[in-house]
A and B are shown apart, each in its own frame.
Chain A
Amino acid sequence: MPRGYGVKTVFLWSVCLALSLGAARVPADGVFDQYRDLMGDDNPAVFVIDEGEELWFTAQGPKSATLEACDLGLGSGVTAGAYVRFPRYFADTNEVMDVEARLVHCMTTIQGRDLESVTAKPYSLRGDLGTEIEALVTWLAAESEGETIAPEQTHAAEREMYVLGEEIFFYRAGPHDFSCATCHEQSEMRIRLQSLPDLTSHAGAANAWGSWPAYRISQGLVRTMGWRMRDCFRQQRWPELQMGSTTSIALQTYMAVNAAGGVMSAPGLKR
């Protein structure tokens, strides 16, 4: 290091150090709270937000169209505040959709892209720097930052989706006889060092729904709520949860409605 330039202190830290911060002293989720304090507003998700915004305005597919004509429920191309109203019913498809399913719908209709190729790899694998869906969802969530979580529950199909989601949430299955509720029905419990939210309560659901998509420090990637659901299925040793499937949307509806009234603060920063 060159001398005489008045360097007072130099410090760099890597997310790998998160583990070493975990030494005793701090309560339950305190390790990650501490980490979040250290990082402040410097969430690497900011890159993904930019990438998502660029993708929205990039012409793609056989029709060489951008996604600006995509109706997320508030009118064509309206992105601000759209995320917090999901999952919601869309008359044009006659379905309740989550953000990911809606994006796929817009990519296949407006851009004319092939459904199989669009849904082939929705979530990043090891070594990836992010997928198109992840980037778009992250940007859309950021477009709702600070908004009140208010999923639509006016259409009968939306209310049915909530009831179905609740049923799946408590449904025990798989080789471990697990339900979602097995891990997410009590508050102030943890698995290893991670606090597990009680998703049947408003507070737990609001905190969870409002903080995804999130940058996962351990993976170096932004993950979406759709991914979070799929990974819970994997941990339960259930069949792979498909992006945009009724099961995924039902569970998200259950959580989002329980979270209604909470504040959207995604993208979050997580372990």
Chain B
Amino acid sequence: MAGRIKIRAQKKGDITEVKALMRHPMETGMRKDEAGEAIPAHFITEVAVFHGDQTVMQGHWGAAVSANPFLGVRFEGGEPGDTVRVTWEDNQGGTGEGQTTIR
């Protein structure tokens, strides 16, 4: 079920506030399971927020970010009805994507 992103984007004054919640285990690779075996590292390495075709934010993430991470971004220039898209890639080649329209 990884790969899902819940996004809300709301315009407040000149600022569009984007809130994105991502479904991801964000395993650091440092933990062991109940049997004592290492749980393989599995975390988001790249995250990006787009307003239409424009990149609003790009980030490099690592193992220090929590499971099911929550991302908040504010940018100028959005209008209600515009599309906001959030994407991620992880260290195992997985990807996630979600989009919404600005309210």
Contacts and interface: CB of A to CB of B under 8 A. Distances in A.
Interface of A: 1-2, 5-16, 39-40, 42, 44, 46-47, 50-51, 125-127, 129, 217, 220-221
B71 A126 contact: no
Given A1-B57, A7-B75, A126 B64 contact: no
A51 B1 contact: yes
A70 B58 CA distance: 46
A11 B77 CA distance: 18
Contacts of A46: 6, 21
Interface of B: 1-2, 4, 6, 15, 19, 21, 23, 25-27, 31-34, 39, 51, 54-59, 64-77
A5 B19 contact: no
B59 A12 contact: yes
A13 B68 contact: no
Contacts of B71: 12
15 contacts: A5-B54, A7-B57, A8-B15, A8-B76, A9-B74, A12-B72, A39-B70, A47-B4, A47-B23, A47-B68, A127-B25, A127-B27, A127-B31, A217-B66, A221-B67
B74 A8 contact: yes
B25 A129 contact: yes
B33 A126 contact: yes
B55 A2 contact: yes
Given A10-B73, A15-B67, A51-B1, A126 B25 contact: no
Contacts of A221: 67
Contacts of A127: 25, 27, 31, 33, 39
Contacts of A217: 66
Contacts of A125: 33-34
Nearest to A1: B58
A14 B62 CA distance: 11
Given A15-B68, A126-B39, 7 more contacts: A7-B56, A8-B74, A10-B74, A12-B69, A42-B6, A42-B19, A44-B67
B56 A5 contact: yes
Contacts of B68: 15, 44, 47, 220
Nearest to A128: B25
B102 to A, nearest CB: 14
Query: 5 tightest CB-CB pairs across the interface, nearest first?
Result: A220-B67, A6-B76, A15-B66, A44-B68, A14-B66
A235 B31 CA distance: 22
Contacts of B77: 5-6
Contact of B70 (A10, A42, A51): A42
Contacts of A7: 56-57, 75-76
B21 A44 contact: yes
Given A5-B75, A13-B70, A220-B67, A47 B6 contact: yes
A10 B57 contact: yes
Contacts of A50: 4
B72 A16 contact: no
B72 A11 contact: yes
